[in-house]
Amino acid sequence: MFDKILVANRGEIAIRIMRACSELNVKSVAIYSDADQNSLFAKYADEAYPIGESAPTQSYLNIEKIIDVAEKSGAEAIHPGYGFLAENPNLGKTCEKHGIKLIGPKGSVIEAMGDKITARKLMRAAKVPVIPGTDKGISSIDQALKIAESIGYPVIVKASAGGGGIGMRTVYEEDELLRAIESTQSVASSAFGDSTVYIEKYLEEPRHIEFQVMADEQGNTIHLAERECSIQRRHQKLIEEAPSPIMTDELRERMGAAAIKAAAHIDYTNAGTVEFMYTKGDFYFLEMNTRIQVEHPITETITNLDLVKEQMKIAAGEELSYLQEEVKIKGHAIECRINAEDPLADFTPDPGKITGYRSPGGIGVRVDSGVYMNYIIPSFYDSMISKLISWGNNRNEAINRMRRALKEYIIVGVKTTIPFHKAIMKNPDFQQGNLNTHFVDEHQKGIYDNMQKVIAEDKEMVDRLKSTFLPNKKVAAISAAVGSYIQASQSSKKIN
């Protein structure tokens, strides 16, 4: 095992990784931008180093600076978490040049799966079902028209180098195709530096189901069952659950086998996620995420396995800790992404100071968070505050436990997505497992009306609990005491 690992990320995922380091008796190294100098993750790490200005390009996306800190601190490995550089092949390639281990797959594998056209070709070669469409970039409108006609409208125009639905356009009729291609090319060029686009068949009422895979460097590959991620807005996941409400033993066996086949075909190592679209009994490869996922805690919850520690062990050259037949599913887990966004204003980000904070707890509740009372959420990064996870013996209990946890979760000073999640948990179709990736759009009015109701209820709860929040003077005194303690402990902890 490594002696020291640098965490090339921030917020709650940085703390999650550092906790795994602590349990493995591995020293953790944090990097932080100007905006994050008072962040919890920088204080939690064994060592912390300033990395640059607040803008991501000057800090968390600067590979040269990160490698410099790794060498300066003596870190033998880098864990990229998710986001930022997690799927940038250049980080892996640079690590290899400097003799630093990237906790993830090889840079060449990240590069291959990051290009959606290349990924489609590889999956076809592996005999994994792929959505009908092109395996080459669109070179002309005539070519696009012929392809769209052959697979049938509606179709989707996608960026080859993209992800997260950025630039994606759904086309229902022939006369919309040219505008869609031009629009996606423009967005792709700006966002990814690559204007290549391709076309896929648009699936009616699909469910987004992904399989967690783990693979060691000795050639062993397994899956840890599935997660359903159909509750989305603009192709961005909001709520995930495991297992999927529609999953059967037979379907899990087929999809799990396809996920393993996909990973093995590209010589994949470490943790990854093979994502599928499922509709009317059939499933198709969508993409592969070559990193740990935001929603990994629900897999950990139902399997009682620590994915992040397993990542570190694999990167250190160890074999997988468990066999496929040893992976058992118990109960049901749900994750809600708690973001600093206004769900009544089309999820507009709302960074700012948290002036009141009370975290939920109790049996079957997990909160992965990187914030605290009086913490100022920066405007430079993703708006995620925390991940709230509930577990139950069955799906109904997990939903009821999530409703209870959301009721307990108090965040004052910024608008959050908590009302949205409360509204979803009350929705009859959600409760019955009737999901697809258009769920939020199809239930928009009902969700909006329910959010207004729960916001009024939240205000009453905050008014009742105001007296339990620490007064500002007391917070300042505690913060000063914590600061003094940290300063006094610098002899055993290097913070530059």
Catalytic residues: 291
Which stretches within 317-437 are classed as H helix? 395-408, 418-426, 428-431
Nearest Cα neighbor of 208 from 183, 248, 238, 166 is 238
| Structural tokens at position 473 | 């003077």
In 234-326, beta strands by DSSP E: 236-242, 270-279, 282-289
Stretch (H or E) spanning 474: helix 472-488
Task: Assign 379 to helix, strand or coil.
Answer: coil
- Distance set, CA 345 to CA 341, 420, 452 (Å): 8, 11, 12
* Helix, strand and coil in the chain, % to nearest 5: 40, 25, 35
* DSSP 8-state code for residue 212: E
Whether residue 210 contacts residue 277, with contact meaning beta carbons closer than 8 Å, is answered with: no
- Distance set, CA 439 to CA 19, 162, 234 (Å): 35, 23, 11
Pairwise CA distance, residues 83 & 142, whole Å? 37
Task: Note if the bond before 243 is cis, omega within 30 degrees.
Answer: yes
Rg (CA), the chain: 23
Pairwise CA distance, residues 305 & 410, whole Å? 29
Pairwise CA distance, residues 347 & 428, whole Å? 23
Whether residue 327 contacts residue 296, with contact meaning beta carbons closer than 8 Å, is answered with: no
Nearest Cα neighbor of 170 from 182, 159, 161, 180 is 180
